[in-house]
Amino acid sequence: MIHECKEEIYFTGDNLSDTLFDESAVFFDIETTGFSPVHSQIYLIGCAYRKDNQICAEQFFAESKEEEPLILASFLELLSGFKTLISFNGIGFDIPFLKAKCEIHKQADPFSDMNCIDIFKAVSTVKFLLKLENYKQKTIEAFLGLKREDQYSGGELINVYDRYTKDPNKEDLRLLLLHNYEDIMGMPALLPILSYVELFKENYSVEEAKICDYQGYDGVTQKELLISLKNHYPVPKRVSYQYKDYYLIANDYKTSIRIPIYEGELKYFYSDYKNYYYLPEEDIALHKSVASYVDKGYRENARPANCYNRKTGQFLPQSEEIMNPIFHKEYKDPMSYFELTEDFCQSDVMLTRYVNHILKLMMAPKKSKSTNKRVRK
């Protein structure tokens, strides 16, 4: 077994990275000869952890298949000093693989008792926002402007390892260690990508809401509500996303959400329609306690579709009953509206509730299914 230990990189993370990657956390990555823990082998395990502001790397390399239990035991011993595991697709691949190997080699695994952060799994929830070609580690590194020396994928290095076991040489060993080393030492620099995830986990504060003019596609000037947010964690690159009528831009510490304002008449539908009369001439519904005095020729028993009152004003869309009272264009219209008022624009509580609703809508149609397959780096 070869054990490489290096202490050479100064950690300069942002506030999110500093929060997630403290001295109780360790990054890790494994290199295997295949996807099946029964039929393939772990030949390299790499770890990166902090000592003050220094990032330390340790690698455990099996020079033969027989050394797999040795590197596994060494890795598990190292883990005993940490509480949090940070990985790239570790929940989907690395941890299940390691747990299976622990069972095969009759070693107790600590993974169930540790907090696990999976960068790939977290980023997969905001694919709709980032719009990357794929979500491999190297692709995210390129998005963040990070560079690496290693040009191989994990799959390509399987043949290199096979060649090394038959004819050990320094160059193949360098290639194998370099790929894993750059994976684990590159992971801390990936943490800022999680700031996009944090935004959708309500890590922001409302700064202001104001009504602005904008030109529609037809050139007609219309009004929109602009809600400005302060991100608790700065996003590394400007991104934008539109879902239906909601438009979001996130850049550094600021996120803005624009919502077109509906100006005109909407209907408020009474749920207890059996207690109302509908007056066709006035096109409104009145409670029977009042409308009973109206001539029978000018009234009829209300139905769900015509038991409403009409209101003219400025309104904002919502897909759930977030704000009350609720207005619709027509009965059973899936989109509902609430009245835009000065009180709403000045209430951080109501604005936050509405923003959370919008962010939830943006995530819902693009939710990523978890994967148990390995994502080659």
Domains of the chain in start order, with CATH, are 2-198 (3.30.420.10), 263-339 (no CATH)
Residue bearing tokens 């050990």: 168
Residue pair 44/33 in contact by the 8 Å Cβ criterion: no
Banded pLDDT at 216 (limits 50, 70, 90): confident
Q: Produce one character per residue of 4-36: b if its CB has 16 or more CB atoms within 10 Å, e if not.
A: eeeeeeebebeebbeebbeeebbbbbbbbbeee
For residue 325, whether the previous peptide bond is cis, meaning omega lies within 30 degrees of 0, is yes
Which pLDDT score is estimated for 300? Answer: 95
pLDDT of residue 295: 93
CA distances to 30, 41, 68 from 33, in Å: 10, 5, 12
pLDDT of residue 5: 85
CA atoms within 13 A on the CB side of 128: 18
Whether the pLDDT of residue 7 is over 70: the answer is no
Calpha distance 354→316 (Å, rounded): 10
pLDDT tens-digit map of 99-108: 999 999 999 9
Q: What is the mean pLDDT of residues 165-194?
A: 93
Higher pLDDT, 370 or 163: 163
Q: What is the largest CA-CA distance in the chain?
A: 102
Residue 218 — very low, low, confident or very high, per pLDDT cuts 50/70/90? confident
- Per-residue pLDDT band for 376 (boundaries 50, 70, 90) equals very low
The confidence score (pLDDT) of residue 13 equals: 72
Grade residue 372 by pLDDT with cuts at 50, 70 and 90: very low
Write out pLDDT tens, residues 96-135.
999 999 999 999 999 999 999 999 999 999 999 999 999 9
- Both tokens of residue 202? 């309500």
Q: Averaged over 68-83, what is the pLDDT?
A: 96
- pLDDT tens digits, one per residue of 322-348: 999 999 999 989 899 999 999 999 999
Q: How far apart are CA 52 and CA 65, in angstroms?
A: 36
Q: Is the CB of residue 312 less than 8 Å from the CB of residue 262?
A: no
When computed from its CA atoms, the radius of gyration of the chain, rounded to whole angstroms, is 29
- The pLDDT value recorded for residue 204 is 97
pLDDT in tens, 286-304: 999 999 999 999 999 999 9
Give the confidence band of 11 by pLDDT, cuts at 50, 70, 90: confident
User: Residue 176: is its pLDDT beyond 90?
Assistant: yes
Residues 6+ apart with CB under 8 A from 81: none
Tell me what the pLDDT averaged over the chain comes to: 92
